[in-house]
């Protein structure tokens, strides 16, 4: 009888041991599931240990929660700390957020030069918002150097990825307007005035309008009233060619990466 009972005793003992094992290891995926369900406390429990161990994604996620005040008191300084740790590991979105916080002065003193440095790191990784923000700092000179050529270069890189803000700013630049859309010929430099190109301005306004930017429609229509029919037709052709090139590139990528 003892021989028969011994396995049962061992099974019960094993179950008791298993029940005493600590909870599961923290998981990024379970954190995402909790976050999507609005269970921010659970997301924090999943992500914080990983962040403290040096996981860049978890560090970024923790920074976002402090930034947004999700499940925890909003704290820009803590957000910056966690974003910064992720940014130092090369996470582009974290680098962009660090730049954005430096530009806004959230959690740190406002510093446009520092913002430019972080935007550049993200922009060089292909981050469209960072490219657009870097273009804006070059356009305004707030990062320490005003350079319209560099502004156009970074705006174009962002626009190629469909960034509407960059498209809008390209339209304004070629339309002879400042970053806020105002005509400011007495304030801008001669180099900016020399950039004026109504056909290019119309092209970029048109592309931004096609993506739902309401002000682009207004600016395009105002510009159209100052253009000849031939100029408008050429500008529309430029926009169509740009779209056709993007569609062709997309088809090629789809063929190479099914």
**pLDDT at residue 33, rounded to an integer:** 96
Computed over every residue of the chain, the mean pLDDT equals: 86
The CATH number given to whatever domain includes residue 46 is 1.25.40.10
**Percent of the chain at pLDDT above 70?**
81
The full length of the chain comes to 258
Structure token digits, residue 31: 């954190």
Most confident option among 16-30, 188-202, 207-221: 207-221
Asked whether the predicted pLDDT for residue 36 surpasses 80, the reply is yes
Greater confidence, 255 or 76? 76
**Distances 77 to 63, 80, 93, 159, 181 between C-alpha atoms, Å:** 9, 5, 17, 32, 33
Q: What is the mean pLDDT of residues 117-138?
A: 98
Q: What percent of the chain has pLDDT over 90?
A: 75
User: For position 189, what pLDDT does the model report?
Assistant: 62
Residue whose C-alpha is closest to residue 112's, from 138, 79, 86, 75 = 138
Q: Flag whether 145 is in a domain.
A: no
Residue 108 belongs to some domain of the structure: yes
On the question of pLDDT at 194 being above 80, the answer is no
The pLDDT, as a whole number, for residue 150 is 95
Identify whether 115 is part of a domain.
yes
- What's the pLDDT at 245? 87
Q: 38 is in which domain, residue-wise?
A: 31-120
pLDDT for position 77: 97
Is residue 177 included in any domain, yes or no?
no
Report long-range pairs for 85-88 (Cβ below 8 Å, ≥24 apart). 85/51, 85/54, 85/56, 85/59, 86/56, 86/57, 86/59, 86/60, 87/118, 87/121
* CA dist., res. 7 & res. 10, Å (int): 5
| Number of domain units in the chain | 1
What is the reported pLDDT for 190? 63
Identify whether 196 is part of a domain. no
Strand partners, 257: none
Write phi, then psi, for 183 (nearest 5 degrees).
-75, 125
What's the whole-number mean pLDDT along residues 90-118? Answer: 97
Task: Give residue-wise pLDDT tens across range 48-80.
Answer: 999 999 999 999 999 999 999 999 999 999 999
CB 76 within 8 A of CB 49: no
Q: Is residue 140 part of a domain?
A: no
Confidence tier at 252 by pLDDT (50, 70, 90): very low
- Residue 227 within a domain: no
> Is 71 among the domain residues?
yes
Q: What pLDDT does 186 receive?
A: 46
Model pLDDT for residues 21-30, shown as the tens digit of each residue: 445 788 999 9
pLDDT of 130 reads 98
Answer yes or no: is pLDDT of 90 > 50.
yes
Evaluate if residue 158 carries a pLDDT over 60. Answer: yes
Furthest CA-CA distance within the chain:
104
What confidence score (pLDDT) does residue 191 get?
65
- For 131, residues 6+ apart whose C-beta sits below 8 A from its C-beta are 119, 123, 154, 155, 157, 158, 161, 163, 166
């Amino acid at each position: 009888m003892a021989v028969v009972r011994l396995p049962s005793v061992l099974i019960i003992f094993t179950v008791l041991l298993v029940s005493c094992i600590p909870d599961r290891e923290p998981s990024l995926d379970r954190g995402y599931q909790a976050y999507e369900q609005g269970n921010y406390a659970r997301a924090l429990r999943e992500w914080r240990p990983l962040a403290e161990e040096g996981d860049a994604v978890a560090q970024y996620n923790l920074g976002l929660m402090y930034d947004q005040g999700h499940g925890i008191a909003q704290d820009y300084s803590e957000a910056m700390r966690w974003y910064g740790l992720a940014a130092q590991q090369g996470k582009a979105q974290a680098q962009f957020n660090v730049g954005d916080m430096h530009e806004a002065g959230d959690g740190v003193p406002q510093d446009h030069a520092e913002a430019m440095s972080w935007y550049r790191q993200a922009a060089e990784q292909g981050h469209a918002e960072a490219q657009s923000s870097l273009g804006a700092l070059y356009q305004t000179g707030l990062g320490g150097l005003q350079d319209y050529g560099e502004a156009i270069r970074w705006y174009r890189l962002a626009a190629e990825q469909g960034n509407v803000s960059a498209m809008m700013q390209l339209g304004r630049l070629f339309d002879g307007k400042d970053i806020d859309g105002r005509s400011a010929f007495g304030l801008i430099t001669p180099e900016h005035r020399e950039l004026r190109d109504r056909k290019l301005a119309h092209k970029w306004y048109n592309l931004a309008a096609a993506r739902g930017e309401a002000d682009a429609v207004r600016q395009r229509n105002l510009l159209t009233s100052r253009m000849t029919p031939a100029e408008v037709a050429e500008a529309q052709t430029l926009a169509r060619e740009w779209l056709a090139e993007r569609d062709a590139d997309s088809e090629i990528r789809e063929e190479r990466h099914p």
